[in-house]
């Protein structure tokens, strides 16, 4: 982790743990949404249109949450939320 990206007084361990845990959480959310969609397709609960609608809604909600959080104290979480919404 570059020294220029870390705030003064923050240890390297704290900065790395925060970044990696955040990334792991974003991956977990994306995987959970994928498993939910697969499960609902297999059970016949959703058709292709429903899956597309849920995916679009989830993506827009994550982008909106990211934009809202970027302007506040949780800038890194907002960036991660917006980035997770753009995953194909």
Pick the more confident residue, 19 or 56. 56
Residue 6 within a domain: no
Q: What is the mean pLDDT of the chain?
A: 79
Residue 3 is predicted with a pLDDT of 52
Evaluate if residue 65 carries a pLDDT over 60.
yes
Phi, psi of 43 (to 5 degrees): -85, -5
Q: How far is the CA of 36 from the CAs of 21, 43, 47, 59, 79, in angstroms? A: 22, 11, 13, 14, 24
Evaluate if residue 71 carries a pLDDT over 80.
no
Q: How many domains does the chain have?
A: 1
Residue 41 within a domain: yes
Residue 47 within a domain: yes
Tokens representing 39 are 């499960």
Evaluate if residue 2 carries a pLDDT over 60.
no
Residue 4 within a domain: no
Centre a 10 Å sphere on the Cβ of residue 12 and count the other Cβ atoms it contains.
10
Evaluate if residue 78 carries a pLDDT over 70.
yes
- Answering whether pTM is above 0.75, one says no
């Amino acid at each position: 982790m570059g020294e220029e990206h870390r705030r003064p007084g923050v240890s390297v361990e704290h900065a790395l743990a925060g970044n990696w845990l955040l990334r792991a959480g974003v991956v977990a959310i994306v995987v959970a949404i994928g498993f939910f969609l697969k499960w609902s397709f297999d059970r016949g609960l959703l058709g292709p249109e429903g899956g597309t609608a849920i995916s679009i809604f989830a993506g827009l909600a994550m982008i909106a949450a990211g934009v809202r959080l970027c302007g506040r104290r949780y800038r890194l979480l907002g960036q991660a939320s917006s980035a997770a919404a753009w995953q194909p």
